[in-house]
Each structure stands twice: as C-alpha cells, then as structure tokens.
A and B are shown apart, each in its own frame.
Chain A
Amino acid sequence: MPTVTEVEPMIHVDHLGKQYGERTVFSDISFDVNPGEIVSIVGPSGCGKTTLLRCVVGLMKPSHGTVLVSGTPVVDPPEGVAMVFQHFGLFPWKTIAANVAYGLTAKGVSMKDAAPRVHELIKLVGLEGFEKSYPYQLSGGMQQRAGLARALAVEPGVLVMDEPFAALDAQTRDILQLELLRIWGTRSAAMMFVTHSIDEAVLMGDRIVILRGRPSSIFDIVDVGIPHPRGRETVDTDRFRTVRDYVWRAVMHDEADDTPLPTDADAVRIEPQSHRNMNGHDHG
C-alpha cells in the first residue's frame, strides 16, 4: 500500500491566502489532490470556495502561498486543467458540438480533426442527436452535460468543478451526480469538487476539505471512506450518514459551542471501517 508521500499530488495547495484590500477571504489553506482522487470542498456560502478554486486554476492570483499542478507552479491557467462552471459557461452562439470542441479548437485543432473525439464525448454524456442544437434549445441538465463533455475533451489530468449542479433542479442534480461518478470512473483525473451541498460533498468526495470561519481556513479534512463505484444506495449506508452528520456539524458548528464534535470526529477519523484501502491518501 503506497502512502501519500510516494505519489506526486496532481494539485498541491500550499499555505494559500487571498485578500481584497483589508478583507481576508481565506488564509493558510494547504491540501493535496492525488491522481484519481475526488476532493470535495465545502463551507458556508461566502467562505471563498469559488475564489479558492479560481486561484487553483490560475484565473486569479493568490495573495499568499502557491499552487502546484503536476509539480509546476500555477501562474496562468495551465495545460491539462479543465473546469466545469456553475452556469455551464457554454457559448450561446456556438452549437453543442462546437462548444464541446472548444478546448481543442482554442488550441488550433480544426473542427474536423476534433470531430471524432467530440462525437465520442457527446455520446458518453448522452447528448447524441443534439450536436447541431444551440444551448438555449437544451435544458439546464443537458447544457451541463455539454459543459462536462467540453471539459473531458481536453483529456485533463485535473478536473475542477465549481458548484456544477447548483443551478439545476433536485432531480436532475441526483441524476448528474451519479452520471459524473460513472464517467469519472472511466478516467483517472484528479477532481476538485466545490459545492455548498453537504450531501453532494460526501457522495462525490473521497476526501472532504471543510472551510470555516472568517476569514475562512481549513477546519478539517475528512476521509469519506466509501469505496467506488458508488450509487444511489450509497446515501443509505451508515458510513454515509456518519460522515454527513459530522461534516454538517462541522460546517454549521458555532465557534462557542464545542461539545458535539469530538465523538463524531473520532468516528470519522479513527474508524475507517472496512475501507482501510481507501485511506492511502492520508491527509496528515
């Protein structure tokens, strides 16, 4: 069983901090995301999850600290990183096929050369027959499927999701969560999954980074310890409930109230149950 020290993390976040003038959004944030791992980032709204993510992909400069992607410091958006956006971010004047191909055509690949891969991905996300449609002709869930296909088209080593299902209705969200897990299972990208939904964070994540406080910092990093493949039944397991309850309390926890956490924390940290093999990437 290899330990984390032997694996080079795909994303290495080192003492990251961001300030706007006087206001500090977050400070001293450090964590890794390993190849083939999904790390969820949760925290109350306004805690700077999206800002953190923008710093990681190079859309924004952090005030302190560094981000390494595949061992290289991030200054501008690096090669091999793809992102899925909260409001899908499809270009409304491009067809679905042209949107899916965007990451390739922006690099100078012709639409014709991109066509086979575009077709394969459109099929993978279940959008066959909509290649020539425009985004406004599709439902939100279908638009986000296209957003996911676009991200996968560049064969990313790092996939970054910014509350990708927050703008969708509950049913569509449930379906797409499992779809994403299915699709991700066929690849080996490292995934950073930002969400404000605790259930989603537990369902998607191998580990969960909990942000808290003002300015926010990492309160805890939790091993979810539920093996893949996961499905609808995952949410009915004891382990899911234990982790969810712990994360819920950690996020909602009042600084003044220090009673309920320790027992739950023990349950989550010390008792990896039968999923010891999932804990190769210890956060310690």
Chain B
Amino acid sequence: MNRRTTRHRLRVLSGYVGGVLLGAVLWQVIGTIAPHEVFDSLSDTLARLWQIILDGTLGTALWTSFQTYLVGMVFALIIGAFGGLLLARRQLLRIALEPYAIALYATPMVGIIPFLLALLGFGFWPKVVVIILFAFFPVLLNTQRGAQSISPELLDVARVYRTRERDIWRHVILPYTLPFLMTGVRQSLARGLVGMIAADFFLSSDGLGGLLITASERFDTAEMLAITLVITVIGLALMAIGRALENHFARWRVG
C-alpha cells in the first residue's frame, strides 16, 4: 500500500469516527438539557440498555420478535419467488392479478392491520401474516421483473441446443432470475422489520415493539431510546446481510 492510499484511508476513518463522536456528544448534551419525559442522554440510554440486557427483558423480546420475523420472512420469500415467476411466465395470470398486486403494494400496510386484528385476532400467526404482507412484495415484483427481462436470445440458445422445457427453467430462467430475487430479498428484509415492529404494536404486548410501547406508557424515555437503538442496529445488520446476498448472487451481472 502506498502513502497516498494510507493517507486517504486515514482521512476516511477520521471522518467516520468524528461523525460518530459528534453525534454522541450532541445526544449527550441535548439529553442532559431536555426534560426526561421527552429525551434522555446517551449515558442514561446505555445504562438502561445494559440493565434490560442483564435482567433478560431484551433477550426475551428479541427472541419472540425474531421467531415471528423468521417464519414470516420464509413465507414471504416463498410466496414472492413463486408468485413472481408465475406472474412473469403466465400471461393470463399476470393480466388478471397484476392490478391487485400493484394496488396492494401502493397501500400503506399499517392500514390493513386493524382488519387483520378483527379477522384473525391476537397471537403468533396474525403477526406472521403482517410480516408476510409487509415483506413479500419486493421479492414478488423483483422476481417478476427479472424473469420477464430474460433476453429472447438466451431462450433461443436453450432451444437450439435442444434443452427440455423443464430444463429451460432450471438452466435459464431460474439462474437468470436469482440476482433479481436477491435484490427483492434485500428490500424485503428491511420491510419485514417494519412489519415486525408494527405487528408488535398492534397485535401483542410482547416482542421488541411491545417493549417499546410499554416503555412509552411508563414515560421511560431511556428505555425507549435503548430499544430504538437496538432496532436500528438490527436494521443496519439486515441491510448488510441483504447487500452481501445480492452481491454474491449478482457477481456475473458486473459490467
């Protein structure tokens, strides 16, 4: 590594650390000045975070939330992938169902939760349904767009070399669509997280969202901030996972 890139990296690193430090200091100062019911300082937040980690509250909530998240995401992925492929390759289905898909995508999902509550009540599965509804659209739409954008030339190649119909799916359509699907997964991971918190808000008093609600009812600003911080870190981690997945499967799409 030459001197120039070293200096460049140092600059980037110092900017990064500086930004984080500045944010932390601002948080601390504002939190100290502001009334506790409105905002709390970083030190109080971290202290409270430590407390809920130690007494197990956070762990239990995390576990509850992530069970629903995982189950919901698996369903969202399956529905999105198969639905997208079907919509892409079966014209009649596409014409019939696409308006609904787009209308539902445009509807803010939070607005549907009260109906689900009336329909399904409280509990594990209604929450899973909420997460599915939040998360499956990006997978569906990206998969559909991918599978529809296969160049006709590649399908000609498959046919000229006498590929059987089911092998055309296996050799051409699926590998071509996979990176698009992964773009959908990346977007879905974040939307599913929103769905998870929203489901906790409306459909139960446990999970991360439930913890957040009860903290706010107690005007425990430090705990609210601590949980929000946890959710943010989870969101960032999911984004990183999604990005890594997408890059891994899209490596041939470079250039």
A-B contacts, 9 of them at CB < 8 A, read A77-B159, A79-B162, A87-B153, A89-B157, A91-B157, A91-B172, A93-B178, A106-B161, A106-B171
Q: How far is the CB of A7 from chain B (nearest CB, A)?
A: 25
Query: B interface vs A, CB < 8 Å?
Result: 151, 153-154, 156-163, 167, 171-172, 175-176, 178, 251-255
In the assembled complex, how far is the CB of residue A102 from the closest CB belonging to chain B, in whole angstroms?
6
A134 near B252: Cβ-Cβ < 8 Å: yes
The answer to whether B176 touches A102, judged by C-beta atoms less than 8 angstroms apart, is no
Contact between B156 and A106, CB atoms less than 8 A apart: no
A85 CB contact (under 8 Å) in B156, B178, B253 = B156
> How many Cβ-Cβ contacts under 8 Å join chain A to chain B?
59
Q: Closest residue of chain A to B178, judged by CB?
A: A93
Q: Which residues of A sit under 8 angstroms from B253, Cβ to Cβ?
A: 92, 136
Closest 4 CB pairs of A and B: A89-B157, A136-B255, A103-B161, A93-B252
Instruction: Write out the residue numbers on chain B whose beta carbons fall within 8 Å of the beta carbon of A106.
Output: 158, 161-163, 167, 171
Bits for A97-121, please: 1 = Cβ < 8 Å to B, else 0.
0000011001100000000000000
Q: Contact between B157 and A102 (Cβ–Cβ < 8 Å)?
A: yes
**For residue A85, which residue of chain B has the nearest CB?**
B153
Whether A136 touches B254, Cβ cut-off 8 Å, given contacts A57-B160, A103-B161, is yes
Minimum CB–CB distance for A77 against chain B, Å: 5
**Count of chain A residues near B, Cβ 8 A:** 26
Q: Name the residue on A nearest B151 (C-beta).
A: A87
A82 interface residue per 8 A CB criterion: yes
* A33 interface residue (CB < 8 Å to B): no
A89 to B175, CA, bound (A): 15
A154 at the interface (CB under 8 A from B): yes
Besides A86-B153, A87-B151, A91-B172, 14 more A-B contacts (Cβ < 8 Å) are: A54-B156, A59-B156, A77-B162, A83-B156, A85-B156, A91-B171, A91-B175, A93-B178, A103-B161, A106-B158, A106-B161, A136-B253, A136-B254, A136-B255
The distance in angstroms between the C-alpha atoms of A106 and B175, with both chains bound, is 15
Whole-angstrom CA separation of A29 from B251 in the bound complex: 45
Interface check A81, CB cutoff 8 A: yes
Residue contact A107 to B162, C-beta cutoff 8 Å = yes
Interface residues of A in 110-156 (CB under 8 A from B): 134-137, 150, 154
A136 and B167 within 8 A (CB)? no
Q: Enumerate chain B residues within 8 angstroms of A136, measured Cβ to Cβ.
A: 252-255
Set of chain A residues within 8 Å of B176, measured between Cβ atoms: 93
Flag if B159 contacts A59 (CB, 8 Å).
yes
List residues of chain B with CB within 8 A of the CB of A79: 162
Please, which residues of chain B bring their CB within 8 A of the CB of A103? 161
Contact between chains at B175 and A93 (CB < 8 Å): yes
Query: Are A89 and B163 interface neighbours, CB within 8 A?
Result: no
What's the least CB distance linking B80 to chain A, in Å? 21
Smallest Cβ-Cβ distance to B250: which chain A residue: A93
**Distance of A77 Cα from B161 Cα, bound (Å):** 8
Given the complex, which residues of A lie within 8 Å of B156, measured CB to CB?
54, 59, 83, 85, 89
Do the beta carbons of B161 and A102 come within 8 Å of each other?
yes
Q: Are A154 and B252 in contact (CB under 8 A)?
A: no
Nearest-neighbor residue (CB-CB) of A147 within chain B: B157
Q: Which residues of A contact B175 (CB under 8 A)?
A: 91, 93
Contact of B161 among A54, A92, A135, A154 (CB under 8 A): A154
The reply to whether B153 and A89 contact each other, CB–CB distance below 8 Å, is yes
Bound Cα distance from A86 to B153, whole angstroms = 9
CA distance A259 to B153 in the complex (A): 42
Q: Which of A207-260 contact B (CB under 8 A)?
A: none
Q: Tell me the bound Cα distance from A59 to B252 in angstroms.
A: 27
Closest residue of A by beta carbon distance from B175 = A93
A77 interface neighbour in B153, B154, B160, B178, Cβ under 8 Å: B160
Instruction: Say whether B157 contacts A85, CB under 8 Å.
Output: yes
Q: How far is the CB of A164 from chain B (nearest CB, A)?
A: 12
- Chain B residues with Cβ under 8 A from A92's Cβ? 252-253
Q: A106-B163, A136-B255 are in contact. Are A89 and B171 (CB under 8 A)?
A: no
A168 to chain B, nearest CB (A): 16
A201, B230: Cα distance in complex, Å = 68
Interchain CA distance A82-B162 in the complex, whole Å: 10
CB distance from B255 to the nearest CB of A (A): 4
Query: Which chain A positions have C-beta within 8 A of B163?
Result: 106
User: Would you give the shortest CB distance from B125 to chain A, in whole angstroms?
Assistant: 38
Cα distance, A145 to B40, chains bound together (Å): 67
- The residues of A that contact B254 with a CB separation of less than 8 Å are 136
| Chain A contacts for B151, CB-based, 8 A | 87
Q: Do residues A89 and B167 form an inter-chain contact, with CB atoms below 8 A?
A: no
